[in-house]
């Protein structure tokens, strides 16, 4: 399939670029997208949540009353979860949420997500995303030029681009990702993808 190449002003340059059907026009696999997005979000979790169980609560280990004859239940420690100030029962403990997925499945997920956006005509290919100055206004103007100022967008750059990253980091509805690091989550999070022309070659090398 072919798509037009635009400039930063949102104007058609008159050139067209070929999008590989093996990447941008496959039958999407919804379950692969789900698993990849689930892994992305799980791997971002720190897993440092913790509570104090009875073995960690500070307190005396003395038996607080005799075993029998009190008319109440036996109790062996002031750190018992049944007492005020005692330990937490079955509270969260530090753990890893990391999930492992096969490389082939992750590739399928990215291709499926790209195919969805291509099918919806929500991919714009731009000749370059280079800016002379680091200004948030550059990104706002870019969104206005493409009439996507009310959309969440992912800017896909061919290589690390400091000016684009710094210009967009104050905008909560804009995400900047290098083509080699693009995940299915980054694609599905955004309503529109704006890609540098050179990033298409990166997809050819990594996904085709």
Specify the pLDDT at position 81: 93
**pLDDT at residue 132, as a whole number:** 86
| Residue 88 pLDDT | 95
pLDDT attached to residue 206:
87
The pLDDT value recorded for residue 95 is 93
The whole model's pTM is what? 0.82
Residue 141 CB neighbours (<10 A): 16
Class of domain 2-29+102-207: alpha beta
- Report the pLDDT value the prediction gives residue 208, as an integer from 0 to 100: 75
* Nearest alpha carbon to residue 158 among 113, 206, 117: 206
What are the mean pLDDT values of the chain's consecutive 10-residue runs (208 residues total)? 88 89 93 96 94 92 92 92 93 94 95 94 91 92 92 92 91 93 94 93 86
DSSP state of 181: G
- Distance between CA 49 and CA 109 in Å, rounded? 30
Question: How far, in Å, are 106, 133, 193, 198 from residue 3 at the CA level?
Answer: 25, 29, 13, 14
Report d(CA 87, CA 172) in Å as an integer: 40
> What confidence score (pLDDT) does residue 134 get?
93
Distance CA 106, CA 102 (A): 6
Percentages helix, strand, coil for the chain (3-state, rounded to 5) are 35, 15, 50
- Which pLDDT score, from 0 to 100, does residue 138 have? 92
Q: Per-domain residue ranges for the chain?
A: 2-29+102-207, 46-96
Quote the distance between the C-alpha of residue 111 and its chain's center: 16
Are the CB atoms for 3 and 125 separated by under 8 Å?
A: yes
Tell the residue number behind the tokens 């990215």, with chain if given.
Answer: 110
């Amino acid at each position: 399939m072919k798509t037009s190449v635009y400039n930063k002003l949102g104007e058609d340059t008159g050139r067209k670029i070929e999008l590989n059907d093996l990447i941008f026009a496959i039958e999407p696999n919804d379950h692969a997208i789900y698993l990849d997005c689930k892994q992305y979000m799980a791997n971002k979790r720190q897993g440092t949540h913790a509570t104090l169980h009875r073995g960690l609560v500070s307190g005396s280990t003395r038996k607080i009353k005799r075993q029998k004859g009190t008319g109440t239940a036996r109790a062996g420690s002031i750190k018992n979860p049944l007492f005020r100030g005692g330990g937490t029962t079955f509270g969260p403990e530090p753990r890893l949420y990391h999930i492992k997925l096969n490389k082939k499945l992750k590739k399928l997920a990215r291709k499926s997500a790209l195919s969805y956006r291509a099918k919806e005509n929500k991919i714009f290919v731009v000749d370059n995303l280079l800016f002379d100055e680091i200004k948030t206004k550059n990104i706002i103007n870019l969104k206005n030029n493409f009439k996507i100022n009310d959309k969440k967008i992912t800017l896909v750059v061919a290589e690390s681009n400091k000016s684009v990253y710094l210009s967009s980091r104050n905008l909560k509805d804009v995400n900047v990702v290098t083509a080699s690091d693009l995940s299915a989550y980054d694609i599905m999070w955004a309503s529109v993808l704006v890609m540098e022309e050179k990033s298409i070659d990166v997809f050819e090398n990594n996904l085709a």
